[in-house]
Chain A
Amino acid sequence: MSVVEILLFMVSCILTHNFIFNRFLGCCPFLGVSSKVETSVSMGLAVTFVMTIASLFCWLIYHLLLVPLELTYMNTISFILVIAALVQFVEMFLKKSSPTLYSALGIYLPLITTNCAVLGVATLNMNNSYGLLQSVLNGTFSALGFLLAIVLMAGVRERLESSKIPACMKGFPITLVSAGLMAVAFMGFNGLV
């Protein structure tokens, strides 16, 4: 891939095919962990980290094990296995080698095990038959898109906290409405790449 292609791919992953607003993957942490900007940044970074290495390992498992053995229909279950084991391993590794990073990511790392965005990116890499580099880039950039979305949402929600909202719309209703409006705004990027 040339540099221009990579840049275009980045814009496509972050803006036009945003994981939250376009593919609707990873909506659970998007709504669950977006009440404060600080925590949402941690969550976004943890997801970025895991999605990048998950893309790498899932690509390896798929192309080096499943394809030669003609067991490609086993992709979902083996991806889940890989991701769960990987997150556990990364957690232990960080706890030992970088306690600062470990305490920053904290409870978010194990939460990501069951994040559909991670499985989604592995499946997308497979369906689009991306190469190794493109898979990893797809993982990183898509996760950056997720980071952008969740931080924007946290900013909106911090403002919502302190604004006057009709009682019936307080809490989740207004959050879902705002998320919908943000998705509409992101649709404006359609056709950009």
Chain B
Amino acid sequence: MTILYAGILLGALGLIFGGVLSFASKKFHVEVDERVAQVRECLGGANCGACGYAGCDAFAEAVVKGEAPINGCAPAGEKGVKAIGKIMGQEATAGERLVARVLCQGENGIAKERYQYDGYQSCATAAGLAGGPKDCRFACLGLGDCMDKCAFGAISMKDGIANIDPDKCTACGQCVKACPRSAIKLLPVSAKVIVRCRNSDVARVARTVCMDACIGCGRCKKECQYDAITVENGFARIDPDKCTRCGSCAAVCPCKCITIE
């Protein structure tokens, strides 16, 4: 008899809970716009937060509500933006794809070491300790704060500086924010000729802290036929709109700090 009671009790409990749950699922049903899920599919999907929303779900919701721009997700790329435009019934164009570039070539042995750093493995911490382990105030410290932030596995550390794989980079900008030295910049992917140094110290100082430092000599500026190079604050800059990627500046740079991708 008791075994019957046990069975009945458990069955009844199960039925009651089942009933309550099915009632609750109707009562507490939340209307979800199916476009949210569709938009969500087109996004980068790494929850990188570069769009300014809490995650990909939040961004997708904002897009459908019309609060966020359709091309707000950099990692989605041109293809993703077009797909979202299709879902939302709007024409949308992605700007030229950007890529994060490390503006430093101060590898171990090239940039002078101030001291041997053996502490907590974080650029932000190291940068705060007596000016950082490298003599150059602008150098990439190579302890991987950007690598930790990169949700796409595009960044690797080699010989004490960061390397960014342009194919994997989605220009979400998390590394730019993470770098305590602001040594990473987002540049158009077609800007192949890059000045890999931001040292604004006077030439003598820049030269003592790093063998590859830009000393602001201006030879590249003289060489450039398209007026694309300016030398300001002790280092050269290339205007990607004027630059024709001819590479003559890189050929004459005495410090080898202009590179061609």
Q: Which residues of A contact B (CB under 8 A)?
A: 61, 65-66, 69-71, 74, 77-78, 81-82, 85, 88-89, 92-93, 95-97, 103, 162-164
Contacts and interface: CB of A to CB of B under 8 A. Distances in A.
Contact of B10 (A78, A85, A103, A163): A78
A129 to B, nearest CB: 21
Interface residues of B, number: 22
A96 B30 contact: yes
Interface string B117-144: 0001110000000000000000000000
Contacts of B18: 85
Contact of B28 (A61, A78, A93): A93
A119 to B, nearest CB: 16
B120 A162 contact: yes
A162 B17 CA distance: 47
B13 A78 contact: yes
Nearest to A159: B120
A103 B14 CA distance: 28
Given A71-B6, A163-B121, A85 B30 contact: no
Nearest to B120: A162
B40 to A, nearest CB: 14
Nearest to B122: A162
B155 to A, nearest CB: 16
Interface in B1-29: 2, 5-6, 9-10, 13-14, 17-18, 20-21, 24-25, 27-29
A85 B9 contact: no
Contacts of A71: 2, 5-6, 9
Contact of A162 (B2, B14, B57, B121): B121
Contacts of A77: 10
26 contacts: A61-B13, A69-B9, A71-B6, A71-B9, A74-B6, A78-B9, A81-B10, A81-B14, A81-B17, A82-B13, A82-B17, A85-B17, A89-B21, A89-B24, A92-B24, A92-B25, A93-B24, A93-B28, A96-B29, A97-B28, A103-B54, A103-B57, A162-B121, A162-B122, A163-B121, A164-B121
Interface in B179-201: none
Contacts of B9: 65-66, 69, 71, 74, 78
Interface string B40-72: 000000000000001001000000000000000
A70 B2 contact: yes
Contacts of A163: 120-121
Contacts of A81: 10, 13-14, 17
A65 B12 CA distance: 11
B63 to A, nearest CB: 17
A112 B57 CA distance: 23
Contacts of B14: 81
B237 to A, nearest CB: 34
Contacts of B120: 162-163
A95 B30 contact: yes
Contacts of B6: 71, 74
> Which interface residue of B21, B29, B57, B120 has the most chain A CB atoms within 10 A?
B21
Given A95-B28, A96-B27, A96-B30, 13 more contacts: A71-B9, A74-B10, A77-B10, A78-B13, A81-B13, A82-B13, A85-B17, A89-B20, A92-B25, A93-B24, A103-B57, A162-B120, A163-B120
A85 B27 CA distance: 16
Contacts of A61: 13
